[in-house]
Amino acid sequence: MREYLTQARKLAEKIMKHDNITIVSHIDADGITSAAIASSSLDSIGKNHDVLFLKQLDPDTLNEIRKRNSELYWFTDLGSGMVHEMHGMNVVITDHHSPSDLIPNVPREKRRTLTELFDEINREDIIQLNPHLFGKDGGIDISGAGVTYLVARELNPSNVRLSVLAIVGAVGDLQDIAFLRLTGTNRYILKEAEEFGLLRTDIDARFFGRETRPVHKMLEYVSDPILPGITGDERGAIEFLKNLSIPLKDGDKWRRWVDLTSDEKRMILSSLVKNIILAGYGGSLAERMVGEVYTLIKEEEGTYLRDAREFATLLNACGRYGDAMTGFHVAKGDRDEEYRKAVSLLQKHRKIILDGIDYLKDIGISKMPHLQYFHAGSNIPDTVIGTIASIVLSSEIADPTLPIIGFAENEYGTIKVSGRAPRNLVERGLDLSRAIKEAALAVGGNGGGHNVAAGGSIPRGKENEFVGILDEIIRRQLGS
């Protein structure tokens, strides 16, 4: 932890020297919370800044960003994978994705000697705070929002209030998935949020909608894991609860999960576990229903902001449908018009996810020796293809022992690639970030991310070649 804080101090000292700053961030929940933390921290020290959200960062996009002529660029939840293309830019990066190991792309006319090229690799114009540089796993140790928060705390002690956003970002980035709780450096931030009375940690069902949905609707929309006879079936969810003699209403008011008694919750979870096992999905899948949940106790009960997972899903919905700025305003505190817009986007998001899962049930998943994949074309938005890949990997639709790759058409005329891997394969040596990056480069694309979750883009028509190369890379990584 000390090495993180030493580096965070270096970034903070550099930020303090500049008054014209551009924050560049990703569009998902981690990226939106990262940008909100960075922006709020700059507000706290009176620094002028603007914010730019990106779906992806590539050389052309970097060239457009350069035209802003900012004194300093603060990249949050992205940037590390493109440092080799940042020649001439004054940059701080708070990211948790795998850093680039490519030689910097220095324009030929500015590369007079090899010494200057070496200096470019080691120059101080670009300073990063990234867990990978300290030998940590950026997929579980800390999120983009987390490393951004560490810098925010160095800028101003009052920014401890932003610790809850770092937790929302980590949960949104699924950093609690592997162990059903946040671990590593995330744990320090969690402890700070608890000590300052901003957050409460409980062991409970890890279902979306605990605070906001009637119990039967919450169960209907559970997709991780898929509940046999309940997921996507409102009547099935209602019958399930009636068979357990659990009242759906208290007077005229629908009962939510948080309204149930401890005995009712135990009865529901026990019955769900039995159903999952009887359906042949295995006990390990059933166990994933319960884990740590994080309640933001300063937020109003019954809203999408009270539970960290719901908050993150709300922000994800904003980013996935082209309105990351609305999520950004909500993360910074808007609870009026921007919040209502975000809720509307969330409702759209949940329907698209369920429709996407139904579509995959129809088309099926293709298998190769060391991976499985599906091609959604234009039938599933490229912005949610990764979310759906995560869900189906823990369902009966896919083989839970193989990495899954999803393809979708995107607005750039290329193919979006999203991959997810079982944690046990990562423990055996699989690094999906490096695998996808290598395979994508081989077909003229690009990629990166984490060892357990990664993505990229490739030219249209190269999908079959890509999965063939990727299958061989995975075989090599696993030594099989």
Q: How far is CA 96 from CA 120, 173, 300, 375, in A?
A: 22, 11, 31, 28
Q: Is the confidence at residue 196, as pLDDT, over 80?
A: yes
Model pTM? 0.81
Q: Is the confidence at residue 103, as pLDDT, over 70?
A: no
- Most confidently modeled range among 176-180, 348-352, 413-417, 450-454: 413-417
Q: What is the mean pLDDT of residues 453-461?
A: 93
pLDDT at 276: 82
322/50: higher pLDDT = 50
Average pLDDT, the chain: 91
Q: Is the confidence at residue 134, as pLDDT, over 80?
A: yes
Q: Is the confidence at residue 363, as pLDDT, over 90?
A: yes
| Cα(333)–Cα(14) distance, integer angstroms | 27
pLDDT at 229: 85
Q: Is the confidence at residue 122, as pLDDT, over 90?
A: no
Q: What is the mean pLDDT of residues 397-405?
A: 90
Q: Which residue type is seen at 250?
A: D
469/450: higher pLDDT = 469
pLDDT at 423: 77
Any idea how long the chain is? 480
Whether the Cβ atoms of residue 342 and residue 303 lie closer than 8 Å to each other? no
Fold held by 364-478: Diaminopimelate Epimerase; Chain A, domain 1 (3.10.310)
Q: Which two tokens stand for residue 184?
A: 């590593």
What is the residue whose two structure tokens read 């293709």?
366
Q: What is the mean pLDDT of residues 53-64?
A: 91
Residue percentage of the chain with pLDDT more than 90: 71
pLDDT at 114: 56
pLDDT at 131: 96
Q: What count of Cα atoms within 13 Å lies in the side-chain half-sphere of residue 12?
A: 21
| Cα(402)–Cα(255) distance, integer angstroms | 39
| Cα(11)–Cα(150) distance, integer angstroms | 10
Query: Does 2-195 carry CATH code 3.60.40.10?
Result: no
pLDDT at 105: 67
| Cα(250)–Cα(258) distance, integer angstroms | 13
Residue percentage of the chain with pLDDT more than 70: 93
| Cα(37)–Cα(357) distance, integer angstroms | 33
Whether the Cβ atoms of residue 354 and residue 457 lie closer than 8 Å to each other? no
Q: What is the mean pLDDT of residues 64-86?
A: 94
Q: What is the mean pLDDT of residues 379-404?
A: 86
Q: Is the confidence at residue 118, as pLDDT, over 70?
A: no
Q: Is the confidence at residue 107, as pLDDT, over 90?
A: no
Span between the terminal Cα atoms of the chain, in Å? 36
Whether the Cβ atoms of residue 57 and residue 81 lie closer than 8 Å to each other? yes
Q: Is the confidence at residue 71, as pLDDT, over 60?
A: yes
Q: Is the confidence at residue 225, as pLDDT, over 80?
A: no
Domain ranges of the chain: 2-195, 199-355, 364-478
358/30: higher pLDDT = 30
pLDDT tens sequence across 170-184: 999 989 988 899 999
Q: Is the confidence at residue 21, as pLDDT, over 90?
A: yes
Q: What angle do CA 391, 392, 398 make, to 5 degrees?
A: 155
Q: What is the mean pLDDT of residues 127-134?
A: 95
Whether the Cβ atoms of residue 289 and residue 206 lie closer than 8 Å to each other? yes
Q: Is the confidence at residue 109, as pLDDT, over 70?
A: no
What is the residue whose two structure tokens read 């997810």?
420
Q: What count of Cα atoms within 13 Å lies in the side-chain half-sphere of residue 295?
A: 16
Q: Is the confidence at residue 10, as pLDDT, over 80?
A: yes
Q: Is the confidence at residue 141, as pLDDT, over 60?
A: yes
pLDDT at 116: 57
